[in-house]
Amino acid sequence: MTSASVARAEPRWGPGAAGALNDRYSGRALDALADTLTDPAFGATALVSSFGADSAVLLHLAARVRRDTPILFVETGWLFAETLRYAEDLSRHFGLTDVRWLHPDQTTLDTKDLRRLRWSYDPDGCCDIRKVDPLDRALTGFDLWISGRKSHQNRARAQLSLFEPQGTRLKLNPLHDWSSEQLRQYAANHKLPPHPLVAEGYPSIGCSPCTSRVQPGEDPRAGRWRGWDKSECGIHVPSEPGNDPVF
């Protein structure tokens, strides 16, 4: 057995890794982003993007470090046409060279969502087969992934930290403490192309059946799964037992 295969068989990160990295990178989130994308000590790193309302900021930051960053984009089959066009346009605009469009497994769809109505009676199950499963498969071989979650987005995300453990991997949230005003300012300073649906009243954009307009004063994610006791899709499992699921 080679040393490489031994390294692959063992989780790269021990139980205290996230805490130690949070101490090392305290107040230096963008250094953490640059290092995870360039330092081999972090292993294989991918960035997961929904090409949604705020995605341009993180993609721009990553592209300035490496345009060949692997970008994982889950195309659930239910995304808005505007999001698909935005993903293509933004990838071209930033010169991203490794954007991977992920799709649900067709056999699974045929057995579990043949009529394409699962979102209407079992959104958790729909997210599992259309988001969680494709991403899980794509993350095989990666040691760390980068997420665009922000603490201000809703109460479930209020306690986000820079590094989080997630199973055998680590997750990096470089924008965890950015305010909506900081995001807006960064996007304006760098003239980042906006998602076209933001101007139409969608501050958070997911799949078309599960995304509605948000009224003034509402939580920015209030339009996601409106009417359901659900605010996350399951991609972001709890980092500690007892925490609510978060996305």
Residues 77-116 binding ligand SF4 (CB under 6 A) are 78
Total residues contacting ligand SF4 (rule CB under 6 A)? 13
Among 130, 169, 221, 236, binds ligand SF4 (CB under 6 A): 130
Among 18, 62, 127, 146, binds ligand SF4 (CB under 6 A): 127
Nearest CA to 49 out of 146, 144, 187 is that of 146
Residues 185-244 binding ligand SF4 (CB under 6 A) are 206-207, 209-210, 233
Cα(224)–Cα(233) distance, rounded to whole angstroms?
10
Which residue number, 126 or 183, has a Cβ lying nearer to ligand SF4?
126
Q: Looking at beta carbons, which residue is closest to ligand SF4?
A: 207
Which residue number, 13 or 78, has a Cβ lying nearer to ligand SF4?
78
Give the contacts of 194 (CB within 8 A, at least 6 positions apart).
Answer: 56, 187
Among 51, 55, 75, 123, binds ligand SF4 (CB under 6 A): 123
| Partners of 46 in the β-ladder | 145
**Residue 158: CB minimum distance to ligand SF4, A:** 22
Q: Beta strand pairing status for 163-166 and 169-172? A: antiparallel
Residues 47-76 binding ligand SF4 (CB under 6 A) are 76
Q: Is 131 in the site for ligand SF4 (CB under 6 A)?
A: yes
In sequence order, what DSSP letters do the residues of 71-132 get, joined into one string?
EEEE--S-B-HHHHHHHHHHHHHHT-S-EEEE---HHHHHHH-TTS-HHHH-HHHHHIIIII
Cα(142)–Cα(39) distance, rounded to whole angstroms?
14
Cα(232)–Cα(224) distance, rounded to whole angstroms?
8
Q: Is 126 in the site for ligand SF4 (CB under 6 A)?
A: yes
Residue ranges in contact with ligand SF4 by CB under 6 A: 76, 78, 119, 123, 126-127, 130-131, 206-207, 209-210, 233
